[in-house]
A = this chain, B = another copy of it.
Amino acid sequence: MSKHQYGEIMMGPGKEFDIIRRMIHRWGGLVRNIGDDAAILDVPRGERLIVSTDISVEGVHFKREWFTPQEIGFRSAVAALSDLAAMGATPLGLLVGLTVPDRWLTELDGVAGGIGAAVMSNDTVIVGGDTTRGEVLTLAITVLGHTRAPLRRTAAVPGDRVYVTGKLGGPLTALRALEKGETPSKEARERLATPMSRVGEGRWLLEHGARAAIDISDGLVADACHLAAASDARIDLDLDQLPLISGASALDAAQSGEEYELLVVSTRKLDEKAFYERWYTELTEIGMVAAVGNPSVVAYLHGERVDIGGGFDHFAPNRLPAEG
Q: What CA separation (Å) do A153 and B86 show in the bound complex? A: 36
B154 touches A86 (CB 8 A): no
B83 touches A37 (CB 8 A): yes
Q: What CA separation (Å) do A311 and B13 show in the bound complex? A: 9
A214: chain B residues at CB < 8 Å are 37
The yes or no answer to A271 lying at the interface (CB within 8 A) is: no
B38 touches A145 (CB 8 A): yes
A295: chain B residues at CB < 8 Å are 10
User: What's the tally of chain A residues with a CB closer than 8 Å to chain B?
Assistant: 83
The yes or no answer to A270 lying at the interface (CB within 8 A) is: no
B53 touches A134 (CB 8 A): no
- Best-buried of A36, A54, A87, A128 by chain B (most CB within 10 Å): A36
On A, residues with C-beta under 8 Å from B are 2-4, 10-17, 19, 35-43, 45, 48-55, 57, 59-61, 82-84, 86-87, 89, 92, 95-99, 127-136, 138, 140, 142-145, 150, 152-154, 213-215, 218, 222, 225-226, 229-230, 232, 295, 310-311, 313-316
Q: Find A38's partner among B45, B50, B127, B134 (CB 8 Å cutoff).
A: B50
A49 touches B43 (CB 8 A): yes
A11: chain B residues at CB < 8 Å are 226, 229
